[in-house]
């Protein structure tokens, strides 16, 4: 049986069953049996095959869209990290102010007032308070700062992460041989690659000769 004669609700249910079966690596024949047992409709495998093609195309489109969305979200997070790091770095470059308070003596006038103070007088301040009788001197020291390098390191790490997400880093080429250890090379010109390959081939030949002479 093909598409004809199926209602929209039946088509939707059949598609759901086929997708469920495909996710579990089930065969097309298994999908036919599931549809027959659950809906009571017998379909040929050609219909299942076409439906699988549609489903897989939808999965691919969704996965590509999801990856794009995830990348955009992660890049947005990095933008926030960069903005905050730059703001904090700029703040760390502001001049630092240090205030030092030094005791320089006793205020004789206030001290004498304290001796003659009458508690029943209506005065704003009680001169008997020892703090009011002390003379102090404040010294402010201003020093420049070059900025906290930890914020720059955060920005550098953020830049590297952004490059990884966008795929901006140069590809890494690897060579693996039976008797030659794994070697990783980056940013190598084609001519240099030829030299490297020749060296590896020569090493393989030498390893094979060493094996025959043992």
Q: Output the DSSP codes for 1-25.
A: --STT--HHHHHHHHHHHHHHHHTT
Answer yes or no: is 57 within a domain. yes
Report the mean per-residue pLDDT for the chain: 76
What token pair was written down for 79? 């933008």
Answer yes or no: is 81 within a domain. no
Answer yes or no: is 153 within a domain. no
Answer yes or no: is 199 within a domain. yes
Residues 6+ apart with CB under 8 A from 15: 51, 54, 55
- Based on the fold, state whether residues 179 and 138 are members of the same structural domain: no
| Domain count within the chain | 3
- Based on the fold, state whether residues 58 and 21 are members of the same structural domain: yes
Q: Could you tell me how far CA 102 lies from the centroid of its own chain?
A: 50
* Closest by Cα among 34, 33, 41 to 11: 41
Dump pLDDT digits (tens) for 2-27: 556 788 999 999 999 999 999 888 99
- Based on the fold, state whether residues 186 and 137 are members of the same structural domain: no
Answer yes or no: is 3 within a domain. no
**What b/e string do you get for 149-170 counting C-beta neighbours within 10 Å, with b at 16 or more?**
eebeebbeebeeebeeeeeeee
Which structural domain range is residue 124 located in? 95-143
Greater confidence, 82 or 95? 82
Dump pLDDT digits (tens) for 22-56: 988 899 999 999 999 999 999 988 999 999 999 99
Answer yes or no: is 149 within a domain. no
Dump pLDDT digits (tens) for 133-182: 556 677 777 777 788 889 999 999 999 999 999 888 766 555 544 444 44
Q: Quick check: pTM over 0.75?
A: no
Answer yes or no: is 139 within a domain. yes
Cα–Cα distance, 130 to 122 (Å, whole number): 19
Answer yes or no: is 148 within a domain. no
């Amino acid at each position: 049986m093909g598409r004809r004669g199926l209602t929209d609700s039946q088509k939707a249910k059949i598609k759901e069953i086929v997708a469920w079966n495909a996710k579990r690596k089930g065969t097309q024949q298994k999908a036919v049996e599931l549809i027959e047992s659950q809906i009571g409709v017998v379909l040929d495998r050609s219909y299942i095959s076409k439906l699988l093609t549609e489903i897989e195309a939808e999965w691919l489109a969704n996965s590509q869209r999801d990856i794009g969305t995830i990348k955009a979200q992660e890049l947005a997070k990095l933008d926030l990290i960069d903005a905050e790091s730059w703001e904090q770095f700029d703040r760390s470059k502001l001049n630092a102010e240090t205030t030092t308070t030094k005791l320089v003596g006793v205020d004789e006038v206030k001290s004498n007032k304290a001796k003659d103070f009458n508690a029943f007088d209506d005065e704003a301040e009680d001169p008997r308070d020892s703090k009011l009788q002390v003379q102090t001197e404040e010294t402010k020291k201003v020093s420049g700062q070059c900025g906290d390098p930890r914020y720059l390191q955060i920005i550098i790490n953020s830049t590297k992460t952004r490059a990884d997400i966008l795929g901006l880093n140069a590809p890494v080429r690897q060579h693996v041989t039976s008797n030659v250890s794994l070697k990783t090379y980056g940013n190598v010109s084609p001519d240099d690659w030829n030299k490297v390959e020749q060296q590896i081939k020569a090493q393989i030949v030498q390893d094979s000769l060493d094996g025959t002479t043992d």
